[in-house]
Chains A and B, each alone.
Chain A
Amino acid sequence: DGGITQSPKYLFRKEGQNVTLSCEQNLNHDAMYWYRQDPGQGLRLIYYSQIVNDFQKGDIAEGYSVSREKKESFPLTVTSAQKNPTAFYLCASFRDRAGGYTFGSGTRLTVV
Chain B
Amino acid sequence: KQEVTQIPAALSVPEGENLVLNCSFTDSAIYNLQWFRQDPGKGLTSLLLIQSSQREQTSGRLNASLDKSSGRSTLYIAASQPGDSATYLCAVFNAGKSTFGDGTTLTVKP
Contact = CB atoms under 8 A, between A and B. Distances in A.
Interface of A: 6, 33, 35, 40-43, 45, 48, 50, 58, 88, 90, 92, 97-106, 108
Binding site of A, secondary structure by majority: helix, strand, loop or mixed?
Answer: strand
A43 B101 CA distance: 8
Nearest to B45: A103
A97 B93 contact: yes
A101 B43 contact: no
Interface residues on B, range: 20 to 34
Interface of B: 31-32, 34, 36, 41-46, 49, 51-52, 89, 91, 93, 96-98, 100-103
Given A33-B97, A41-B102, A97-B31, A105 B89 contact: no
A42 B97 CA distance: 15
Nearest to A105: B43
Given A97-B93, A100-B32, A100-B34, A42 B100 contact: yes
Given A41-B102, A97-B31, A98-B51, A106 B43 contact: yes
